[in-house]
Amino acid sequence: MATVNLSSSIGSLTMKLRPLSTLTTISALALALALSACAPKQTSSPIPTLDASIIPPVDSVHFSDGPALPSDTDIAWGDGFAGDDGWHEVEHLTEPGRWAYANRDETCVAAFHSGPLGDSAATNDRDASDALITAALGGDLGDLDGLPSDGYFFRYKSEGAQVDHRQFSVTVDSFGRFIAARAFVALNYSVIVTVMCEGTDVTSAADEVLSKNMISIGPETLD
């Protein structure tokens, strides 16, 4: 998969921030039926592809940084699809803490969530992020245990900075589903995005979603 161009994907974006609100689950639409009925096939390429020549700056937020974030830290999505001609908001899937966009030909839907983490037995951000993916898939990972992998969101207004997340991608026949999630256990907060495609490569769609929709974490510079 092609590496995301950081200078073009970050420097040219102006995004509105989605407000803090309650985490709400979204229907997996028809794709959930296909996934529950068929044995999944994991896609092997992480999204986005890491460029080894890029050294993340000090304001990247790794899993290990979560406990050190100040208690008054604000976390929000930067809405990179607002005003994007290639995506339009799906109004009936939009409510506090939940919103979704469909691509121009309506073969893919990107559903975003943000809000309180809620009850979680996990004591660290990585494990809690895996638990979010498990919940989004509708239950125990079972045979999928161990398949989520490390990835990252881009951090809003911090060029080149990354926010660690966990991600999972599955394709069954012409249906694809990608999930990226980050839990902040100490702050009792989480962000998650699910990309669902039919007849379109979900890897490419997820790449675009992650390159245009970033995570804002304030204060802008971590101590």
In a domain, 110, yes or no: yes
Domain of 22 in residue numbering reads as: 6-218
In a domain, 64, yes or no: yes
Average pLDDT (206-213) is 97
Q: What pLDDT was estimated at residue 65?
A: 96
In a domain, 188, yes or no: yes
Q: What pLDDT was estimated at residue 147?
A: 82
Distance CA 87, CA 3 (A): 21
In a domain, 197, yes or no: yes
In a domain, 150, yes or no: yes
Distance CA 113, CA 156 (A): 17
DSSP 94-159: -BTTEEEEEETTSSEEEEEEEEE--S-S--SHHHHHHHHHHHHTTS--GGGTT--EEEEEEBTTST
Give tens-digit pLDDT for 17-34. 554 332 222 333 434 333
Q: What is the mean pLDDT of the chain?
A: 76
Q: Tell me the two tokens of residue 55.
A: 């050294």
Instruction: Report the number of distinct structural domains present in the chain.
Output: 1
Distance CA 129, CA 175 (A): 24
Residue closest to 211 by CA, chosen among 41, 38, 5: 5
Preceding amide of 40 cis, omega within 30: no
In a domain, 90, yes or no: yes
In a domain, 223, yes or no: no
* Cβ contact 147:43 at 8 Å: no
Give tens-digit pLDDT for 83-124. 999 999 999 888 888 999 999 999 999 999 999 998 777 889
- What percent of the chain lies above the pLDDT cut of 70? 68
Distance CA 167, CA 152 (A): 9
In a domain, 1, yes or no: no
Q: What pLDDT was estimated at residue 219?
A: 65
Give tens-digit pLDDT for 165-201. 999 998 989 999 999 999 999 999 999 999 999 999 9
Name the band, by pLDDT with cuts 50, 70 and 90, for residue 160: confident
